[in-house]
């Protein structure tokens, strides 16, 4: 059998991970002088408490080569091959560390997702389905590499405070965005994060316009699956997003997942994205 592993940043639900037999390797969240494992010792709610109520700064750290080697080695005692889908190499050194670990082991394949959150999650889920269906490791990897440039990943962020805390935008930008009610769309383009359209108004209004822009009259959508991934959005907002998605496009699967600690620590609460595949790159 082939084992599929992934960085915890893929943001698949626990149910999906358990049902498909996926093993997650947690990245680290650093709070002060303490280190926590993403999704194991710390939750997004913990992060929001640390930042918003205690005034602490949360940072992220990659998985070490040694930790990847230990994980892969243990799995190889039970499986004939391991395929690991990593957080994009432009966002973290996790991919480089995983690839370095794989060089010292046989039958370990490491894929640079060139994406984050459920942008990577699409690949992880696809890999698990292919492994379950009995495809060989080389064929799974080939198909994943073909899919990578077709992933469409983006998010709308309600507030820029968390990006400011992480040094990803200036204090002036954060204050200006708050005063003008600007909600930026963050897109993954060629494996890197970039700022797309800037929406203005309430978060729910911006989200509806964002969904219309991404889906309405878009002829390049693979309608197989879409993820709605969010960080601490209300149940009402998520349901409204479901309805808005169905108004503009039909997908065979609409899967809602919560953003994990890594995304939450960078983007904060009230962040939401729709992530799907394009028909062509």
Please check whether residue 96 is in contact with residue 102, taking contact to mean a CB–CB distance below 8 angstroms: no
C-alpha to C-alpha distance for 176 and 172, rounded to whole angstroms: 6
How buried is 210 (Cβ within 10 angstroms: 0-12 exposed, 13-18 middle, 19+ buried)? buried
- Can you name the CATH fold of 153-278? Hypothetical Protein Tm841; Chain: A;domain 3 (3.30.1180)
pLDDT of 204-240, one tens digit each? 999 999 999 999 999 999 999 999 999 999 999 999 9
- Can you name the CATH fold of 2-27+62-149? Rossmann fold (3.40.50)
- pLDDT, residue 166, reads 53
Instruction: Name the DSSP letter for residue 229.
Output: E
pLDDT of 105-140, one tens digit each? 999 999 999 999 999 999 999 999 999 999 999 999
Q: Please name the residues in contact with 6: beta carbons below 8 A apart, sequence gap of 6 or more.
A: 12, 22, 23, 24, 25, 84, 85, 86, 120, 121, 124
Please check whether residue 194 is in contact with residue 187, taking contact to mean a CB–CB distance below 8 angstroms: yes
Instruction: Name the DSSP letter for residue 49.
Output: I
C-alpha to C-alpha distance for 143 and 151, rounded to whole angstroms: 13
C-alpha to C-alpha distance for 188 and 208, rounded to whole angstroms: 20
pLDDT of 239-259, one tens digit each? 999 999 999 999 999 999 999
pLDDT of 147-183, one tens digit each? 999 999 999 999 877 765 554 443 334 333 454 478 9
Torsion angle in degrees (nearest 10) through CA of 106, 108, 109, 113: -150
Please check whether residue 143 is in contact with residue 130, taking contact to mean a CB–CB distance below 8 angstroms: yes
Q: Find the mean pLDDT for residues 171-199.
A: 74
Q: What is the mean pLDDT of the chain?
A: 93
The pTM (predicted TM-score) of the whole model is 0.94
Please check whether residue 246 is in contact with residue 213, taking contact to mean a CB–CB distance below 8 angstroms: no
Q: Where are the beta strands (DSSP E) in the chain?
A: 2-7, 23-25, 28-31, 34-37, 58-61, 81-86, 108-112, 151-152, 154-157, 182-189, 192-200, 221-231, 253-258, 271-278
Please check whether residue 155 is in contact with residue 186, taking contact to mean a CB–CB distance below 8 angstroms: yes
pLDDT of 39-81, one tens digit each? 999 999 999 999 999 999 899 999 999 999 999 999 999 999 9
Give the CA count within 13 Å in the CB-facing half-sphere of 161: 14
Sign of the CA dihedral 41, 44, 50, 51? positive
How buried is 185 (Cβ within 10 angstroms: 0-12 exposed, 13-18 middle, 19+ buried)? buried
Q: Where are the beta strands (DSSP E) in 64-107?
A: 81-86
What are the residue boundaries of the structural domains of the chain, listed by start?
A: 2-27+62-149, 153-278
């Amino acid at each position: 059998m082939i084992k599929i592993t992934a960085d915890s940043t893929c943001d698949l639900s626990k149910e999906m991970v358990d049902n498909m037999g996926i093993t997650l390797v947690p990245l680290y969240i650093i709070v002060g002088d303490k280190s926590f494992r993403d999704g194991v010792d710390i939750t997004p709610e913990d992060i929001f408490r640390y930042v918003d109520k205690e005034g602490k700064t949360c940072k992220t750290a990659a998985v070490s080569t040694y930790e990847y080697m230990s994980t892969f080695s243990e799995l190889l005692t039970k499986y004939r091959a391991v395929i690991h889908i990593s957080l994009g190499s432009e966002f973290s050194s996790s991919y480089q560390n995983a690839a370095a670990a794989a060089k010292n082991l046989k039958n370990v394949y490491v894929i640079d997702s060139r994406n984050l959150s459920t942008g990577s999650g699409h690949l992880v889920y696809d890999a698990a389905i292919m492994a379950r269906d009995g495809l060989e490791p080389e064929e799974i990897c080939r198909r994943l590499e073909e899919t990578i440039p077709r992933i469409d990943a983006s998010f709308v962020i309600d507030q820029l405070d968390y990006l400011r805390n992480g040094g990803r935008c200036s204090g002036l930008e954060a204050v200006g965005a708050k005063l003008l009610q600007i909600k930026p769309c963050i897109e993954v383009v060629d494996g890197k994060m970039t700022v797309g359209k800037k929406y203005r108004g309430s978060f729910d209004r911006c989200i509806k316009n964002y969904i219309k822009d991404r889906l309405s009259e878009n002829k390049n959508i693979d309608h197989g699956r879409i993820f709605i991934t969010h960080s601490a959005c209300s149940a009402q907002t998520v349901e409204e997003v479901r309805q808005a998605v169905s108004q503009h496009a039909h997908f065979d699967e609409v899967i809602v997942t919560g953003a994990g600690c890594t995304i939450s620590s960078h983007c904060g609460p009230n962040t939401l994205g729709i992530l799907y595949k394009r028909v062509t790159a």
